[in-house]
Amino acid sequence: MVISPRKKLAILISGRGSNMEAILAASGDTSYPAEICVVISDNKDAGGLQTARATNIEAHAIERSDYASRADHEAAIKKAINMTRADLICLAGFMRILSADFTKAYQGRLINIHPSLLPKYKGLDTHKRAIDDGEKEHGCTVHFVNSEMDGGEIIAQEKVPVFSQDTADTLSARVLIKEHKLYSKVIADLAKVK
């Protein structure tokens, strides 16, 4: 029997890291076709870094303030990714806009999860903006990353209803449940074909 090696994932985070945790949990099943090889954060206080370290996953805080330029900062992130020979680079709440040089370097291997039904609500405060607009449906999108913020090719989406009593927090919580399932599934699908 030929056992195909699991694809390697580099996960980039800035904060709590619940999507990273969902991917970690999914990969706990040895039949899942991918595993996290490195977690990189631009914020040393990101909760997700501690979670990764507690699970013996390589984790690096690479903060912008430690580098003279954006290019130097991105070069350090690239170096950490490339050292691990990651197959797929997954942005999971990574709050920094990446340069065109960076996105080109990983074209077709760099994905992001965004909390809206793109192309609607690119950028921040997606839940509040959807409620303010009276949307009846909202959701999340996994997409390839290119140089246009939240503008790369859409891979998959999940929808949730918006209720009249929703606040940004209640809506965000409903979307987040979908995010966790969707991101793990898309990664598995990509890992099988890449």
Residues 181 and 23: their CA atoms lie apart, in Å, by 9
Pair 93, 17: CB distance under 8 Å: yes
Long-range contacts at 128-134 (CB < 8 A, ≥ 24 apart): 128/168, 130/162, 130/171, 131/162, 131/166, 131/167, 131/168, 131/171
151 is an interface residue for ligand GRF by CB under 6 A = no
Residues 103 and 174: their CA atoms lie apart, in Å, by 30
Q: How far is the CB of 121 from ligand GRF (least distance, A)?
A: 11
Selected range binding ligand GRF among 17-25, 64-72, 79-87, 98-106, rule: CB under 6 A:
17-25
Pairing of strands 34-41, 110-114: unpaired
113 is an interface residue for ligand GRF by CB under 6 A = yes
Among 17, 41, 135, 145, binds ligand GRF (CB under 6 A): 17
Among 12, 36, 57, 92, binds ligand GRF (CB under 6 A): 92
Among 37, 90, 179, 184, binds ligand GRF (CB under 6 A): 179
Pair 160, 175: CB distance under 8 Å: yes
Instruction: Identify whether 114 is a catalytic site residue.
Output: yes
Q: How far is the CB of 22 from ligand GRF (least distance, A)?
A: 8
Q: Which residue is listed with tokens 């987040």? A: 176
Among 60, 114, 138, 143, binds ligand GRF (CB under 6 A): 114
Q: Which residue out of 60, 114, 127, 180 is catalytically annotated?
A: 114
Task: Find the residue with minimal CB distance to ligand GRF.
Answer: 93
Residue 121, token pair as written in the block: 């609500």
Active-site positions read: 114
Binding footprint of ligand GRF on the chain (CB under 6 A) = 13, 15-19, 92-93, 113-115, 140, 176, 179
